Each structure stands twice: as structure tokens, then as C-alpha cells.
Amino acid sequence: MFSLPLSDDARIAPLEVWHAGEFAGHLDRARDHIRPWVGPAFVTDDVEGARSTLVRYAEKQAHDGARLFGIWSQGVLVGGVMFTDFQAAAGCCELGCWLEPSAEGRGLVTPACTALLDWTFRKRGLHRAEWHCRADNHRSAAVAKRLGMSLEGVRREAWPYAGKRYDKQVWSLLATEWPPTDH
């Protein structure tokens, strides 16, 4: 298995089916914190649900689609980054991320997403990467900005959560803009 360092005590690596128990434990620590910001099918309540999520993404990856990568800090799974959508034939993908509260503000997500974008544009030759987030998710929008993405627009009331609808921002980055010149 490969692993890329993010800092002296943190790394990114594929999040696979055999991590189901660890993923479930991580979700126990992160569930309430991330639930408003990620898709409802992602946040499960037990090991079997965690396994189902990991199997679903493994099947998508087997077809050159969406895939998951965990972020481990001091050997503990604290979050991750992902391709929520990956369409090589169309030259487009969408990235996402999540962290448990203890891992926020430690500079883990931006370098993890940078590794995914570098692979996307340099190795796979995709043309466009997107980032979608609720318009009130300022931390997520800040990651998109740090990655050099441009805000393309807002899809009004496109994000349902807990009986309410929220606006969704759509950010993008083109291969010709990678790497960002201001980094």
C-alpha cells in the first residue's frame, strides 16, 4: 500500500474495505460534526454501514470512478479526502474532504487535496476538477480557495439537510491553471 506524508506525524493513504472497523470508530468521533456537510449515505452508524460505504467506493474505484483516501495522524484515522465523482472519459472529477474536530486547523486537508489534484492533472490527464460545498461551509470554501479554485456560481437551495434547503457553491480548477501561481 502506498502512503504519502502530509506532515511529520500525518499521512494520506487509500481508505479500503479492511479499514471498516477503524472507519466506523472515526465516524463515531466525527459523525455529528460532519453530517451537515457531507452526503447522507456517507455518514453511517455502525461497522456494517462503514463497510458498505467502503465497498461502494471500492466498486466505483474498480471502474475507474470515485475513490477514498484516509488521513491518519499519529496512526489514527482522523479524516479523509475523496473523489466523489471521477469521470476519466469526460476529463472531469469532483473532490471532497472531511475531518473530525480534533484534526481541524492542522493543515492536513489542503496538502492531501493537492496530492489528489496533482495526480488528476499530471498523471491522469483530466481537464477539470470541481469542489461542491454548502454556501455556509466557510472552512470548505477556504480549502477550495487555497487550492486555487474559482467560484463559478451558486446553485440555490440545492443542498437538502434536516428538512431545510441550503445553497450550494460550485468551485472549479482547470488543468491549465495547475499548479496555482500564488503558491
Cα(111)–Cα(114) distance, rounded to whole angstroms?
A: 5
CB hemisphere CA count around 62 (13 angstroms): 8
User: Does domain 4-177 sit in CATH 3.30.2350.10?
Assistant: no
What is the C-alpha to C-alpha distance for residues 12 and 55, in angstroms, rounded to an integer? 19
Angle 36-101-37 from CA coordinates, rounded to 5°: 15
Q: What is the pLDDT of residue 131?
A: 98
pLDDT of residue 168: 97
Q: Given the C-alpha cell 492533472, which residue does it identify?
A: 121
Element spanning 60, H or E: helix 47-62
d(CA 41, CA 30): 15
Q: Residue 1: what pLDDT?
A: 59
Block means of pLDDT (10 residues each) for the chain, length 183 residues? 89 97 96 91 92 97 97 97 97 97 95 97 97 97 97 97 96 94 57
Residue 34's φ and ψ, nearest 5 degrees, are -95, -20
Handedness of CA 145, 163, 78, 50 (dihedral sign): negative
Q: Where are the domains of the chain?
A: 4-177
Per-residue pLDDT, 182: 57
Asked whether the beta carbons of 81 and 11 are under 8 A apart, the reply is no
* The pLDDT value given to residue 180: 74
Report the candidate in 96, 72, 100, 71 with the shortest Cα–Cα distance to residue 84: 96
H-helix segments, 75-177: 109-118, 138-146
